[in-house]
A = this chain, B = another copy of it.
Amino acid sequence: MRARDLAQDFPTVSLDSDATEAARLMAREQLPGLIVCDGDGRPYAVLPGSQILRFLVPRYVQDDPALARVYDEKASDELLSKLGRSTVRDVLPDKRDITEIPVVDGDATTIEVAAVMARVHSPLAAVVENDRVLGAITVRALLDHLLPS
């Protein structure tokens, strides 16, 4: 089985997409992450849901969980609902911190797909042919293919 055969339709967002809409898309479609494309439609990054939370939660709360207690229940819900006017670009880590994008060619074998997901700790890999995103393979879909009941 090759990557192009395992690829499923998968929504992409752009760097300038609205971050709130992107997060809603992820939640609504039950996606483990989103493929972010640059202006030319080429994959730029994969945005996992936990990265959105990293953007939303103040740094000092991430560093010291006890500080989360300064927010009561209501303030906590409100703080986190404020993605506001942020774009996907704002939410992504610094370009310097994106060491590798989980992308494979259409003719990649399952081990190549698994290797990139394992290395990047990514819940999905984008499948690309001729600079175009064909779709994505999720870890779950790959496990399902490799370990039939």
Contacts and interface: CB of A to CB of B under 8 A. Distances in A.
Interface of A: 1-2, 20, 23-24, 26-28, 30-32, 48-50, 52-54, 56-57, 61-62, 65, 68-69, 71-73, 76-77, 79-81, 83, 108-112, 114-123, 139-144, 146-147, 149
Contact of A139 (B50, B110, B115, B149): B50
Nearest to A72: B109
Contact of A50 (B30, B54, B76, B117): B117
A23 B48 CA distance: 20
Contact of A28 (B24, B121, B144): B144
Contacts of A121: 48, 50, 121
Copy tally for this chain in the complex stands at 2
B140 A53 contact: no
Q: Which of A73, A139, A142 has the most CB of B within 10 A?
A: A139
Contact of A53 (B31, B109, B118, B149): B118
A112 B75 CA distance: 12
Contact of A123 (B2, B32, B80, B118): B32
Nearest to A20: B147
